[in-house]
Amino acid sequence: MSPPTSEVTPALTVFMFKLAHLSDIHLSPIPHARRRDLLSKRIIGYVNWHRGRKLVHRREVLDMLTRDMLARNPDHIAVTGDLVNLGLPEEFKRAAQWLEELGPPDHVTAIPGNHDAYVRLNPERGTGLWTPYMEANPAGEELFATPPKGFPFVRRYGDIALIALSSAIPTMPFLAAGRVGSTQRSYLAKALTELGKHDLFRVVLIHHPPLPGLAPWRRALRDREKIKKILKECGAELALHGHNHEGSVEQIETISGLCSVVGVPSASEAMDDGEPAAGYNEYCISRVNSGWQCEMGIRSASREGRTWESRTLILR
């Protein structure tokens, strides 16, 4: 009697979504600051900017990357914070114009970073100008009988769900820490659980790294342990952050399998000793047979004024 044989069924891709992720924009140049505007934490940032940060964050580098990104025609773009530098009202206006250049609100999702909460500012003069890019879409609103106001919010695009958090809080000078807070954490747990029931690919967006050990205390997310616990207990497929100005990939085991936690470099940072500094990531997310596949391409800037894919990783 011959041994049993088995046929290998070819993988069947039934869905594909391309998501671009960039962060830590730090739009330059900064607008003129009046003396009274600097009577706050802004004075430290103003001095640091003119001492060297203006040489680090270059608009031409950002423009080169965004041209490359738009030419690759992503289905959606996620911007995870630090669009401005000192929190000047004029900076928020310029950032709103930059978001419009990226695409319409249904095509672009933005969240704030610590520089976007540099000082307390009336939302109408600050991040409120970005509201169309920071609110749920109709498919995401259906998740809650009473959707939360502000953060977190959910955007759903077919089988992909983006869960956007804000970790931006004003801090004392020389601190760049963040906090999500109990209200957002509660909604995050509900959202991840409910979206998991629908077998969606869940992408969490946050500015600060959501895991312990990824940032020093003065720059860390204060409730990072609690966020990690929610990810583990409720499940997620991908969590994207910025803040550290460097690429990183960590993986944690969750109730629904591995979750990749990915940091991206600043999208405007100039070259450092000949190495690519600025970059963005591109995720091709596919439903293959009964599971998910996610391939990440790292797009990096070069001194020669071009962008290339420096590395490709299979995250799941």
CA separation for the pair 158, 80 (Å, rounded): 22
Is residue 208 within 8 Å of 165, Cβ to Cβ?
no
Tokens 């100039």 belong to residue: 270
- Which tokens go with 146? 């009473």
Sequence-ordered list of residues with C-beta below 8 angstroms from that of 224, at least 6 positions apart, any chain: 208, 209, 210, 211, 212, 214
Is residue 280 within 8 Å of 20, Cβ to Cβ?
yes
Q: What is the pLDDT of residues 164-216, one digit of tens each?
A: 999 999 888 888 999 999 999 999 999 999 999 999 999 999 999 999 999 99
Higher pLDDT, 65 or 309: 65
Q: Which domains does the chain have, with CATH numbers?
A: 13-32+39-314 (3.60.21.10)
Cα four-point dihedral sign 273, 300, 27, 148: negative
CA separation for the pair 213, 64 (Å, rounded): 32
| Residue 6 pLDDT greater than 50, yes or no | no
Angstrom distances, CA of residue 249 to CA of 70, 252, 314: 24, 10, 11
Environment class of 89 (CB within 10 Å of its CB; exposed 0-12, middle 13-18, buried 19+): middle
Residue whose C-alpha is closest to residue 19's, from 292, 257, 221: 292
**How much is the mean pLDDT over the chain?**
89
| Residue 10 pLDDT greater than 60, yes or no | no
Its pTM stands at 0.92
